[in-house]
Structure 1
């Protein structure tokens, strides 16, 4: 069965013993803390994901309302650092997921304000677009309209890594040599890169749904629902930012 390319979800599924079934507790053999453990459910994932997104939206709103855009760069690096840490060393608690959402909310709030200033309405359209893509991918997964094969998964991961290398090369060329490779300048090449990014992020949602489904079937502890929410947030934040950029390109043409 294929695994997700999202490192957060992938590492969760490969943890040694972390996702072992939360077995039944015999009377008198477990402490209250252990006895309170139970298998993860779809309601757990739904509620925790909604909580993480509530923090994300609140953070973005406060960033715009209180004019905290100057915190976007520190929040970007803090969010990246926390995201990498959680991807490499998964944690099932609420605090890391909610803190990550707070950092990313600052980034999203400033990015939305920036693109909205250039192209009014871009933020609203990106929100609607992200919601539609999420709903469409969820429907495609539930109805099995899209088959998640190992071959397709490898292709998607390879394509995403290739795009990431290209974007890193763009940053190095720009900061180090003042050169523009044309990957983010609004031209035809930049438009194509953004389309591929949106497609990759959309496909990664399918992989994340599959990973969450495997987690449900495995009977893992309900505490890992927070980590599932964190992994989904990573993908959706990426999708939203790429849609913002893609919409800005369409406005330029």
Structure 2
């Protein structure tokens, strides 16, 4: 069964109360009474809490004009993302801090794009919610299955997108050359569409990873880590939808 390629839930490590899923028929030691196993309610409650912090942070950033905090928030969010990827841990404080930082970034970005095209932020939120609901329904009904082959293709796609964006950054800053990824042309729209498709697929991978946590007997504290991975993917999905909608105003 494939694990998530999102570094937030990439491995089910035997760390701090979490255990890797046992093979069928394998015995597992019962968790201590004081450290009960994770449940679906734990995951839902923690994910809603993290999303709530992100939304409040984004709203306050836009409402109070705190866009000047976006750059430090980018640094904090990136740092926390890398740290939690390298050293997985079920930390409520770090997860909520990550959500706060990402909320500031998304709030500032939404305010910027909304000034160019009023209502684009609302449409991006609706689009993200619809895709999330659709992918969850697809996962629950097994209409789309998470396979190792499809996941490898998705990971390869993401790696290609990262290389493309880095090349655009180097070409723009180093040589003053525009590769056409940020001006709303056909290439920019195609790249955003591919990124949205990849992010949507990774939602399936995150659902699968969350399900493996449920089956593994991991500590309930790891619900914060599952929430972190889900929110990380949702932030990526929202950002790509926002960019795509901003491009479409030129058409």
Q: TM-score, normalised by structure 2?
A: 0.94
Q: Contact between 1:22 and 1:220, CA under 8 Å: does it hold in 2? A: no
Specify the SS of the correspondent of 1:145: coil
Give distance in 2, aligned partners of 1:156 and 1:50: 26
Give distance in 1, aligned partners of 2:112 and 2:48: 26
Specify the SS of the correspondent of 1:183: coil
Q: Which residue matches 2:84?
A: 86
Give distance in 1, aligned partners of 2:155 and 2:15: 23
Q: Which residue matches 1:104?
A: 102
Q: CA deviation at 1:24?
A: 4.1
Specify the SS of the correspondent of 2:249: helix
Give distance in 1, aligned partners of 2:173 and 2:79: 21
Give distance in 2, aligned partners of 1:22 and 1:220: 11
For residues 183-194 of structure 1, the aligned pairs below 5 Å read 183-194=181-192
Q: Contact between 1:22 and 1:37, CA under 8 Å: does it hold in 2? A: no
1:232 matches 2:230 = yes
Q: CA deviation at 1:197?
A: 0.4
Q: Contact between 1:60 and 1:108, CA under 8 Å: does it hold in 2? A: yes
Q: Which residue matches 1:23?
A: 30
Give distance in 2, aligned partners of 1:230 and 1:22: 27
Q: Contact between 1:137 and 1:205, CA under 8 Å: does it hold in 2? A: yes
Q: Contact between 2:16 and 2:89, CA under 8 Å: does it hold in 1? A: no
Query: Which of 45-54 and 16-25 deviates more?
Result: 16-25
Q: Which residue matches 2:72?
A: 74
Query: Aligned-pair RMSD on alpha carbons?
Result: 1.3
Q: Which residue matches 1:129?
A: 127
Give distance in 2, aligned partners of 1:24 and 1:73: 43
Using a 3 Å threshold, how does the CA distance of structure 1 residues 184 and 55 change in structure 2: closer, same or farther?
same
Q: CA deviation at 1:14?
A: 3.8
Runs of 4+ in 1 over 4 A off after TM superposition: 15-18
Q: Contact between 1:160 and 1:197, CA under 8 Å: does it hold in 2? A: yes
Q: TM-score, normalised by structure 1?
A: 0.93
Give distance in 1, aligned partners of 2:173 and 2:76: 21
* Structure 1: stretches of 5+ with no match in the other structure: 26-34
